[in-house]
Structure 1
Amino acid sequence: MAVKYTKSYLDKLENLFASSEYILRYEKGNFKSGYCILKDNKIVIINKYYTLEGKVNTLVDIIKELGFKPNEFTDKKNQDFLGELQQTVLKL
Structure 2
Amino acid sequence: MKYTQTTLDKIERIVEEGGYLLRYEKGTFQSGYCVLKEKKVVVLNKFFQTEGRINTLVDLLPQLDIHIDLLTHESQKMLDEVMSIEHE
- If the length of structure 2 is used for normalisation, what is the TM-score? 0.88
Identity %: 41
Q: Which runs of 5+ in 1 are unaligned?
A: none
Amino acid aligned to 2:83: Q
Match of 1:52 in 2: 50
Q: CA deviation at 1:64?
A: 1.5
Return the structure number with greater helix share.
2
How many residues are treated as equivalent by the alignment?
88
Q: Which has the higher contact order (CA 8 A, sep 6+)?
A: 2
- State how far apart, in whole Å, the 2-side matches of 1:4 and 1:67 are: 25
Code of the residue aligned with 1:70 in structure 2: it is: I
Query: Aligned partners of 2:81, 2:22: CA distance in 1, in Å?
Result: 21
Task: In structure 2, give the amino acid aligned to 1:43.
Answer: V
Q: TM-score, normalised by structure 1?
A: 0.85
Are 2:75 and 1:82 equivalent residues in the alignment?
no
State the shift of 1:18 in Å: 1.9
RMSD: 1.7
